[in-house]
Structure 1
Amino acid sequence: MARKSSSPVRSTASSTGTAAEPADVKKAPSLSSLRSEIDRLDKDLVTILNRRAEIAVQIGKVKSSNGLEVFSAAREEEVLAKVLGASQGPLPQDTLRLIFRELMSGTRALQRTLRVACLGPKYSYSHLASVAKFGEAVEHVPVGSIAAVFEEVNRRHVQFGIVPLENSTDGRIADTLDMFTKLPNLKIRAEVRLRIHHCLLGRCEWSQMRRVYSKSQALSQCRNWLGKNLPQAAKIEVVSTAAAAELAQREEFAGAVASKPAGQAYRLNVLAENIEDQANNVTRFAVIAETAEARTGRDKTTLMARIPNDPGSLVKTIAPLEKLGVNMTWIESFPIAAAAGDKNPSYLFFLDIEGHSEDVLVQKAIDTIRRRCERLDVLGSYPRSEIVES
């Protein structure tokens, strides 16, 4: 006789014949529950951001009582580095950078609204570089020339100016170097390395285009592309890429080489993107002000030196850099007007070296170089920056 089981046999199927769902399987969250979680996090974020702003206002009061400036390139670079280093995704670092740029811009404005001069009008690359460094919560003051940017800062009409210093395709920006020879008292407080993407903008088809406007440097950076694709169009230089977009908006058979934001602002069609001849096209901008920047440990220093016009004088002048282990990352020569009766041209040299002018080895190198020069100006020490997209 068969023996009965002491434990009941459990059915593995329901009355309808379907397999039973394991008890430990969780249901996927619903759309409404996920949205509720987002709403809760947004509320928490607003509370945290406002608390951060309250502390920033307190910091502003402490700075004011100690005679310190609202803007500190060193501190803002430090904040960004810590934020980006703490993130493990999935939010892209470029997105985080933009968020915190505007966050710092907005909290700065609670302390004081800054005025920043740049080569305009709005949506020029100088304006885009200004936004990249200072955010939107400042007063961007567009002016008509690089010289005017220097003058606005020198006359204290603005706290800061931003000027192009060099381009990876075209090299030095002569107008900027010339103004440093005239106003060496102004200091470089920060740099912006902006990746430049040029677009062909217009209201007509390529075949109808008779004129292409842009700043001389932009036309130069797209020379091969324009020659191949628009050989029939005259290339006309204007004061800025944004001014070019404005002209293209007014004229029926005209185009502009400018940024995509400029095209959007002037309601132009983007006929072609990324038309620059060199894919890695970067312009380095200098933020200028009356005072120098504090050291961060990740700095560079820009020097302007007038060197005797003798054989080997340049090599002798910069020799202390190698001896002291100070790395030079950039050098440009710049001609200056000769004195009456002097037949030999004279040159200034602009140099970038790694480190801050307050670093012991850098300070020693500068002192040694100064003794070998006819003139030496420290144009500023400031944090090294990463490339940002325009």
Structure 2
Amino acid sequence: MDDELNSQLKPLRERIDAIDTQLIALLNQRAAVALEVGEIKKHFNAPVFRPEREQQVIARLQDMSMGPLGGDHISAIWREIMSASRELEQPFRAAYLGPVGTYSEQAMHLYFGQSIEGLPCSSIDEVFRSVDAGAAEFGVVPVENSTAGAVSRTLDLLLQTKLLIGGELALPIHHNLLTLSGGLTGVTRVCAHAQSLAQCQRWLATHAPHLECLAMSSNAEAARLAASDPTVAAIAGDRAAVHYGLQVAYALIQDDPHNRTRFVMIGKVPVGSSGRDQTSLIVSVKNEPGAVFKLLGPLARHGVSMTRFESRPARAGTWEYYFYIDIEGHRDSAAVAAALAELEEKAAFLKILGSYPRAS
């Protein structure tokens, strides 16, 4: 049986080996060209990472491919190729809500590739501070969840700081209940980020109503605590379970099986147009009848689609609100530019948070 199997596999493996030989030569050729690109960028003090360019490269290859590789396969492969090339040109850092093992870290690697150097931070505030101070070129922060809604602190800091959104990623969130033993015997508390507790509240109320729920700075911090305390269960993902040596007591405990969190990448450099972009902005209006209706008029007149609209109190004690809006298109496109110019005339306040490639 083994001899027959090996005899049939041998010529196919030899073909794969031959193709791999060609691939490694071509990949090294590509890396050499990328190094030349890096030298030119250094001369002009241009940023190493251009998300719009990488999006264009991936989209072109996806359109060219005749299969059997699908679009997601091509995206994953080329993101790592480009990540390695960037590291050769000039290593850079991305700050994220830590410690190691968080969904923020997972989002960072999915977006930037494995070659990025991560800087774990203890809070979302610290992520913003790290990027603002130059300790990291980019930050990765959660902005909204499909179950629990907006991440308030991220929205507040986007308003308060000068940092720009340069990219986004929608990450499926699969929560597990983790303990040292793999069971709940002796467990009295379940710890997790407040958002994760909210995303699992029905499951916890039904299956573990006796457990006290405690909010932590991150799920990975909860996992780190559970790794040293057998009375603690943590809600976290597979990466945290492996990193902290925990066992899965219950898998996939999120209330919504399609639970997703949207992460945004923050930085200081504006992003060019990729051809499939989104623009985020914050607007406030005068306290007068029909103000919100008038606010939306410029978008409709110029044919600009709005994909997100969320209100937040201005916290000035005057019952005024800021509106967080996502619209389709890049701020440099004619329709969006015209709509924003008209909007600025009508709004009491307008801040453009950035234009960037939309998540697939």
Q: TM-score, normalised by structure 1?
A: 0.87
In the alignment, which of 34, 58, 64 is matched to residue 80 of structure 1?
A: 58
Name the counterpart of 1:239: 217
What are the equivalent positions in structure 2 for 1:1-390 lying under 5 Å apart? 30-183=8-161, 185-204=162-181, 205-338=183-316, 344-386=318-360
Write the letter of the residue equivalent to 2:329. G
Deviations 1:254-301 (A, max 9, x none): 211101111011111122222111122111111111121001121110
CA distance in 2: counterparts of 1:106 and 1:276, whole angstroms: 34
SS of residue paired to 2:227: helix
Aligned amino acid, residue 327 of structure 1: S
1:10 matched residue in structure 2: none
Q: CA deviation at 1:105?
A: 0.8
Which amino acid is 2:250 matched to?
A: A
The answer to whether the 8 Å contact 2:186/2:230 transfers is no
Q: Relative to structure 1, is the Cα distance of residues 264 and 93 closer, same or farther in structure 2, using a 3 angstrom cutoff?
A: farther
1:155, CA displacement in angstroms?
A: 1.3
Secondary structure class of the residue paired with 1:107: helix
One-letter amino acid of the structure 2 residue matched with residue 380 of structure 1: G
- Cα deviation, residue 92, structure 1: 4.9
- Following superposition, the deviation at residue 44 of structure 1 comes to 1.4
- Equivalent residue of 1:366, what SS? helix
Residue 95 of structure 1: CA displacement?
3.6
Matched position secondary structure for 1:206: coil
**Which structure shows the bigger proportion of residues in helix conformation?**
2
AA aligned to 2:82 is: M
Computed over aligned residues only, the root mean square deviation of the Cα atoms, in angstroms, reads: 1.6
CA offset digits 1:128-178 (Å, max 9, x no partner): 111111112121001111111111111112111111111111111110111
8 Å contact kept, 2:62–2:70: no
CA distance in 1, matches of 2:342, 2:71: 41
How far residue 88 of structure 1 moved from its aligned partner, in angstroms, is: 3.4
Cα shift at 1:323: 1.5
Q: CA deviation at 1:70?
A: 0.4
Structure 2: where are the runs of 5+ without partners? 1-5
Higher-Rg member (1/2): 1
Counterpart code for 1:158:
A
**1:384 & 1:368 partners in 2: Cα distance?**
24
Question: Distance between the aligned counterparts of 2:67 and 2:302, measured in 1?
Answer: 41
Q: Deviations over 1:161-201 (max 9, x none)?
A: 11111111111111011112211x21111111111111111
SS of structure 2 residue aligned to 1:250: coil
- What SS does the corresponding residue of 1:78 show, helix, strand or coil? helix
Structure 2 letter corresponding to 1:256: A
Deviations 1:222-249 (A, max 9, x none): 1111111111111111000111111111
Q: C-alpha distance in 2, partners of 1:179/1:159?
A: 17
Structure 1 letter corresponding to 2:338:
K
Distance 1:239 1:319 in 2: 40
Question: How many aligned positions are there?
Answer: 354
Q: Percent identity?
A: 38
Deviation string, structure 1 residues 333-361 (Cα, Å, up to 9, x no partner): 111232xxxx6322111100011100111
Q: Which amino acid letter does the alignment assign opposite residue 175 of structure 1?
A: R
One-letter amino acid of the structure 2 residue matched with residue 106 of structure 1: A
Shift of 1:93: 4.1
CA contact (8 A) 2:84 2:115 kept: yes
Superimposed CA distance per residue, residues 346-381 of structure 1 (whole angstroms, 9 cap, x where no aligned partner): 211110001110011111110111111111111100
**Contact 2:83-2:114 within 8 A present in 1 as well:** yes
